[in-house]
Structure 1
Protein backbone atom coordinates (compact mmCIF):
# COMPACT_ATOMS: atom_id res chain seq x y z
CA UNK A 1 0.00 0.00 0.00
CA UNK A 2 2.87 2.33 0.83
CA UNK A 3 4.41 1.59 -2.56
CA UNK A 4 1.08 2.39 -4.24
CA UNK A 5 0.87 5.78 -2.48
CA UNK A 6 4.42 6.62 -3.56
CA UNK A 7 3.66 5.72 -7.17
CA UNK A 8 0.41 7.69 -7.03
CA UNK A 9 2.23 10.72 -5.61
CA UNK A 10 4.84 10.51 -8.38
CA UNK A 11 2.12 10.26 -11.05
CA UNK A 12 0.26 13.25 -9.59
CA UNK A 13 3.46 15.33 -9.41
CA UNK A 14 4.31 14.37 -12.99
CA UNK A 15 0.80 15.37 -14.14
CA UNK A 16 1.04 18.72 -12.34
CA UNK A 17 4.51 19.32 -13.74
CA UNK A 18 3.32 18.51 -17.26
CA UNK A 19 0.26 20.74 -16.99
CA UNK A 20 2.37 23.68 -15.77
CA UNK A 21 4.76 23.30 -18.68
CA UNK A 22 2.12 22.55 -21.30
CA UNK A 23 2.23 25.19 -24.05
CA UNK A 24 -1.58 25.29 -24.27
CA UNK A 25 -1.79 26.15 -20.58
CA UNK A 26 0.98 28.72 -20.91
CA UNK A 27 -0.80 30.29 -23.87
CA UNK A 28 -4.02 30.57 -21.85
CA UNK A 29 -2.10 32.16 -18.98
CA UNK A 30 -0.54 34.86 -21.17
CA UNK A 31 -2.14 38.25 -21.15
CA UNK A 32 -4.00 39.09 -24.34
CA UNK A 33 -2.17 41.36 -26.77
CA UNK A 34 -3.10 45.01 -26.27
CA UNK A 35 -4.80 46.26 -29.47
CA UNK A 36 -3.46 49.74 -28.79
CA UNK A 37 0.11 48.43 -28.79
CA UNK A 38 -0.51 46.47 -31.98
CA UNK A 39 -1.69 49.69 -33.66
CA UNK A 40 1.24 51.63 -32.18
CA UNK A 41 3.80 49.14 -33.52
CA UNK A 42 2.17 49.20 -36.96
CA UNK A 43 2.21 53.01 -36.98
CA UNK A 44 5.83 53.03 -35.79
CA UNK A 45 6.88 50.91 -38.79
CA UNK A 46 5.06 53.24 -41.19
CA UNK A 47 6.59 56.28 -39.49
CA UNK A 48 10.13 54.85 -39.65
CA UNK A 49 9.67 53.87 -43.29
CA UNK A 50 8.47 57.33 -44.31
CA UNK A 51 11.35 59.06 -42.53
CA UNK A 52 13.86 56.61 -44.04
CA UNK A 53 12.51 57.55 -47.48
CA UNK A 54 12.84 61.25 -46.66
CA UNK A 55 16.43 60.87 -45.43
CA UNK A 56 17.31 58.86 -48.55
CA UNK A 57 16.03 61.76 -50.69
CA UNK A 58 13.35 59.49 -52.16
CA UNK A 59 10.71 62.20 -51.99
CA UNK A 60 8.42 60.64 -54.61
CA UNK A 61 7.97 57.53 -52.45
CA UNK A 62 7.91 59.64 -49.29
CA UNK A 63 5.02 61.68 -50.69
CA UNK A 64 3.05 58.47 -51.31
CA UNK A 65 3.03 57.83 -47.55
CA UNK A 66 0.85 60.91 -47.00
CA UNK A 67 -2.91 60.95 -47.61
CA UNK A 68 -4.14 62.80 -50.71
CA UNK A 69 -6.56 64.90 -48.66
CA UNK A 70 -4.01 66.04 -46.06
CA UNK A 71 -4.10 69.68 -45.00
CA UNK A 72 -0.78 71.01 -43.83
CA UNK A 73 -0.72 73.88 -41.34
CA UNK A 74 2.76 75.42 -41.46
CA UNK A 75 3.68 78.06 -38.89
CA UNK A 76 4.16 80.74 -41.56
CA UNK A 77 0.71 80.68 -43.14
CA UNK A 78 -2.68 79.16 -43.76
CA UNK A 79 -3.46 75.52 -44.45
CA UNK A 80 -1.93 74.10 -47.62
CA UNK A 81 -2.80 71.16 -49.86
CA UNK A 82 -0.70 68.06 -50.39
CA UNK A 83 0.80 69.45 -53.61
CA UNK A 84 1.84 72.62 -51.71
CA UNK A 85 3.27 70.46 -48.94
CA UNK A 86 5.14 68.32 -51.48
CA UNK A 87 6.69 71.38 -53.13
CA UNK A 88 7.74 72.79 -49.76
CA UNK A 89 9.25 69.45 -48.67
CA UNK A 90 11.29 69.26 -51.88
CA UNK A 91 12.46 72.87 -51.49
CA UNK A 92 13.31 72.31 -47.84
CA UNK A 93 15.15 69.08 -48.58
CA UNK A 94 17.21 70.75 -51.33
CA UNK A 95 18.70 73.11 -48.75
CA UNK A 96 20.26 70.34 -46.63
CA UNK A 97 22.88 67.67 -47.27
CA UNK A 98 22.92 64.31 -45.52
CA UNK A 99 19.83 65.15 -43.53
CA UNK A 100 18.99 62.58 -40.83
CA UNK A 101 16.39 62.14 -38.12
CA UNK A 102 18.30 60.77 -35.13
CA UNK A 103 15.65 60.91 -32.40
CA UNK A 104 12.48 59.29 -33.62
Structure 2
Protein backbone atom coordinates (compact mmCIF):
# COMPACT_ATOMS: atom_id res chain seq x y z
CA UNK A 1 0.00 0.00 0.00
CA UNK A 2 2.89 2.36 0.80
CA UNK A 3 4.40 1.83 -2.65
CA UNK A 4 1.09 2.78 -4.27
CA UNK A 5 0.86 5.95 -2.20
CA UNK A 6 4.48 6.86 -3.02
CA UNK A 7 3.74 6.40 -6.73
CA UNK A 8 0.66 8.58 -6.48
CA UNK A 9 2.54 11.30 -4.58
CA UNK A 10 5.41 11.20 -7.06
CA UNK A 11 3.02 11.38 -9.98
CA UNK A 12 1.27 14.38 -8.42
CA UNK A 13 4.55 16.22 -7.95
CA UNK A 14 6.12 15.40 -11.30
CA UNK A 15 3.20 15.58 -13.70
CA UNK A 16 1.75 18.96 -14.54
CA UNK A 17 -2.02 18.65 -14.52
CA UNK A 18 -3.61 20.60 -17.32
CA UNK A 19 -7.25 20.13 -18.21
CA UNK A 20 -9.75 17.42 -17.42
CA UNK A 21 -8.03 14.68 -19.47
CA UNK A 22 -4.84 14.86 -17.39
CA UNK A 23 -6.86 14.81 -14.15
CA UNK A 24 -8.78 11.79 -15.35
CA UNK A 25 -5.59 9.93 -16.28
CA UNK A 26 -4.05 10.68 -12.88
CA UNK A 27 -7.16 9.55 -10.98
CA UNK A 28 -7.32 6.36 -13.09
CA UNK A 29 -3.65 5.70 -12.32
CA UNK A 30 -4.26 6.28 -8.61
CA UNK A 31 -7.32 4.01 -8.57
CA UNK A 32 -5.58 1.16 -10.39
CA UNK A 33 -2.51 1.43 -8.13
CA UNK A 34 -4.63 1.25 -4.99
CA UNK A 35 -6.69 -1.63 -6.42
CA UNK A 36 -3.56 -3.65 -7.24
CA UNK A 37 -2.18 -3.03 -3.72
CA UNK A 38 -5.49 -4.11 -2.15
CA UNK A 39 -5.69 -7.25 -4.30
CA UNK A 40 -2.12 -8.23 -3.41
CA UNK A 41 -2.83 -7.69 0.28
CA UNK A 42 -6.08 -9.70 0.21
CA UNK A 43 -4.49 -12.53 -1.80
CA UNK A 44 -1.88 -13.01 0.93
CA UNK A 45 -4.72 -13.92 3.35
CA UNK A 46 -6.00 -16.72 1.10
CA UNK A 47 -5.17 -20.39 1.55
CA UNK A 48 -6.12 -21.12 -2.07
CA UNK A 49 -4.48 -18.48 -4.24
CA UNK A 50 -5.14 -19.69 -7.79
CA UNK A 51 -7.33 -21.81 -10.03
CA UNK A 52 -4.42 -24.18 -10.55
CA UNK A 53 -4.08 -24.73 -6.80
CA UNK A 54 -7.83 -25.37 -6.49
CA UNK A 55 -7.61 -27.88 -9.36
CA UNK A 56 -4.80 -29.81 -7.66
CA UNK A 57 -6.69 -29.84 -4.37
CA UNK A 58 -9.89 -31.34 -5.81
CA UNK A 59 -7.95 -33.87 -7.89
CA UNK A 60 -6.07 -35.14 -4.86
CA UNK A 61 -9.18 -35.21 -2.62
CA UNK A 62 -11.81 -36.56 -5.01
CA UNK A 63 -9.97 -38.12 -7.97
CA UNK A 64 -11.68 -38.35 -11.33
CA UNK A 65 -11.31 -35.85 -14.14
CA UNK A 66 -11.59 -32.10 -13.53
CA UNK A 67 -13.82 -30.68 -16.27
CA UNK A 68 -13.72 -27.01 -15.23
CA UNK A 69 -12.83 -24.67 -12.36
CA UNK A 70 -14.37 -21.20 -12.07
CA UNK A 71 -14.02 -18.35 -9.60
CA UNK A 72 -17.04 -18.14 -7.35
CA UNK A 73 -18.28 -16.94 -3.97
CA UNK A 74 -18.32 -19.70 -1.36
CA UNK A 75 -19.95 -18.97 2.00
CA UNK A 76 -19.57 -15.25 1.25
CA UNK A 77 -15.82 -15.65 0.65
CA UNK A 78 -13.84 -15.73 -2.56
CA UNK A 79 -13.47 -19.26 -3.83
CA UNK A 80 -13.85 -21.69 -6.69
CA UNK A 81 -16.41 -24.12 -8.05
CA UNK A 82 -15.04 -27.21 -9.74
CA UNK A 83 -16.94 -29.58 -12.03
CA UNK A 84 -15.63 -33.15 -11.96
CA UNK A 85 -16.34 -36.45 -13.68
CA UNK A 86 -15.95 -39.49 -11.42
CA UNK A 87 -14.45 -42.79 -12.56
CA UNK A 88 -17.96 -44.29 -12.78
CA UNK A 89 -19.23 -41.48 -15.04
CA UNK A 90 -21.03 -39.27 -12.50
CA UNK A 91 -20.68 -35.49 -12.86
CA UNK A 92 -20.46 -33.62 -9.56
CA UNK A 93 -19.41 -30.23 -8.21
CA UNK A 94 -17.02 -29.23 -5.45
CA UNK A 95 -16.93 -25.80 -3.81
CA UNK A 96 -13.56 -24.56 -2.53
CA UNK A 97 -13.46 -21.71 -0.01
CA UNK A 98 -10.27 -19.78 -0.83
CA UNK A 99 -10.04 -18.23 2.65
CA UNK A 100 -10.34 -21.43 4.70
CA UNK A 101 -9.27 -24.00 2.08
CA UNK A 102 -12.33 -26.13 2.90
CA UNK A 103 -13.94 -28.19 0.14
CA UNK A 104 -17.48 -29.51 -0.05
CA UNK A 105 -19.00 -31.84 -2.61
CA UNK A 106 -22.46 -31.02 -3.96
Q: Same fold (TM over 0.5)?
A: no
Higher strand share: 2
Give the structure with the higher percent helix.
1
- Higher relative CO (CA 8 A, sep ≥ 6), structure 1 or 2? 2
TM range (shorter): 0.3 to 0.5
Q: TM-score, normalised by structure 1?
A: 0.32
Which structure's CA Rg is the greater one?
1
